[in-house]
Amino acid sequence: MLTVNAYAAPSATEPLVKTTIERRDVGPKDVLIEIRYAGICHSDIHTVRGEWGPISYPQVVGHEIVGYVTEVGSEVSLHQVGDKVGVGCMVNSCRECENCLAGNEQYCLNGNTGTYAAVDVDGTITQGGYSTHVVVVEDFVLKVPDSIPFEKAAPLLCAGITTYSPLAHWNAGPGKKVAVVGMGGLGHMAVKIAHAMGAEVTVLSQSLSKQEDGLRLGADHYYATNDPATFETLANSFDLIINSVSAKIDINAYLALLRFEGTLVSVGAPPEPLPVQVFTLFNNRRSFAGSSIGSIRETQEMLDFCAEHGIAPETELVAADAINEAYERVLASDVRYRFVIDIATLA
Ligand SMILES: [Zn+2]
Ligand SMILES: [Zn+2]
């Protein structure tokens, strides 16, 4: 076992603190990664605070991880020492169910193994990326192209793939009108990716406070949802709406913005149900869908796509001892648009 530095939550109510955790020995198919950068995702905060259900403590979170391979197991064939690699929201799956066999391991019917707060194959609880090293089975390790600035790459592993997957699945591209609800960590990536795919992109944000950013990042149009006229102007307009908001919104008002056979996909996760007026779906034969991260194959495709199109998240680099402060700023929506922890400050 390897004892490594980490930043962990001691309980649901205390700030995260510097500590050490154990990483398993590198098995035949494992890769040891020296972590360089880890993104701060809103899910990290929900998880450590027990808002998505009880967890065991201490818990290290972080599922937007990039670093260098420093050791490989005897049977590893996909990665070599020195490679720039990434790890996202999952580190394993059953590999036997219908969805895994079809290459959709994010939808593993036996539950994929989350990068943190999940039960690993050896019965231990997985610990995430706010640490100096992690051991991951090689098939769940991604290659990070050199042209993506390394200190900005980490958020692609959650925010990037979570928005890329539905945009690709529902064919965002030339001639398609795509709306992005919410201009946060997920939303700003949806804007960049949809624009690079060739779609006409509209941001639907609460106010116009981030309009300048939205247009700079690739949006063609920007509307405030606190102005009721927005919903009249844009009725029956969009082929695809990506809802990145994790608070409860009036979903019917947004469904009414879909044109014929349009789809609204939720990637944000409000804790309470969203009541849908079915008549709104009858009109224009609309669909209301959900999407969860992306497969490993698709995550690699996304990284390569971002490299090819020069896309990287907008980030603010913080030291490990600023994680608690960063959490408060995430909760106050005071980040443009993703915090990334410089793991060198944890060494
Ligand atoms: Zn996340
Ligand atoms: Zn499975």
Q: Ligand 2 center to residue 37 CA distance, Å?
A: 29
Q: Which pLDDT does position 246 carry in this prediction?
A: 87
Q: Ligand 2 center to residue 97 CA distance, Å?
A: 4
Identify residue 34 by its one-letter amino acid code.
Answer: E
135: nearest Cα among 103, 92, 77: 92
Tell me how long the chain is: 347
* Contact (CB, 8 A) for 140 and 134: no
What predicted TM-score, i.e. pTM, was given to this entire model?
Answer: 0.97
Q: Which pLDDT does position 121 carry in this prediction?
A: 80
Give the ligand with the smallest distance to the CA of 155. 1
pLDDT per residue of the chain (347 residues) written in tens, 0 to 9: 899 999 999 999 999 999 999 999 999 999 999 999 999 999 999 999 998 899 999 999 999 999 999 999 999 999 999 999 999 999 999 999 999 999 999 999 999 999 999 999 889 999 999 999 999 999 999 999 999 999 999 999 999 999 999 999 999 999 999 999 999 999 999 999 999 999 999 999 999 999 999 999 999 999 999 999 999 999 999 999 999 998 889 999 999 999 999 999 999 888 788 999 999 999 999 999 999 999 999 999 999 999 999 999 999 999 999 999 999 999 999 999 999 999 999 98
Q: Ligand 2 center to residue 105 CA distance, Å?
A: 6
Q: Ligand 2 center to residue 118 CA distance, Å?
A: 15
Give the ligand with the smallest distance to the CA of 109. 2
Give the ligand with the smallest distance to the CA of 102. 2
Coil, strand or helix: which one is 180?
A: strand
Q: Which pLDDT does position 52 carry in this prediction?
A: 87
Helix axes 159-169, 296-309, angle to 10 degrees: 100
Give the ligand with the smallest distance to the CA of 44. 1
Q: Ligand 2 center to residue 155 CA distance, Å?
A: 25
Q: Ligand 1 center to residue 41 CA distance, Å?
A: 5
Q: Which pLDDT does position 122 carry in this prediction?
A: 82
Q: Ligand 2 center to residue 93 CA distance, Å?
A: 5
Q: Ligand 1 center to residue 333 CA distance, Å?
A: 15
CA distance 251 to 31: 43
Q: Ligand 1 center to residue 3 CA distance, Å?
A: 25
Q: Ligand 1 center to residue 185 CA distance, Å?
A: 9
Domains assigned to the chain: 2-157+314-346 (3.90.180.10), 160-290 (3.40.50.720)
Q: Which pLDDT does position 270 carry in this prediction?
A: 83
Give the ligand with the smallest distance to the CA of 185. 1
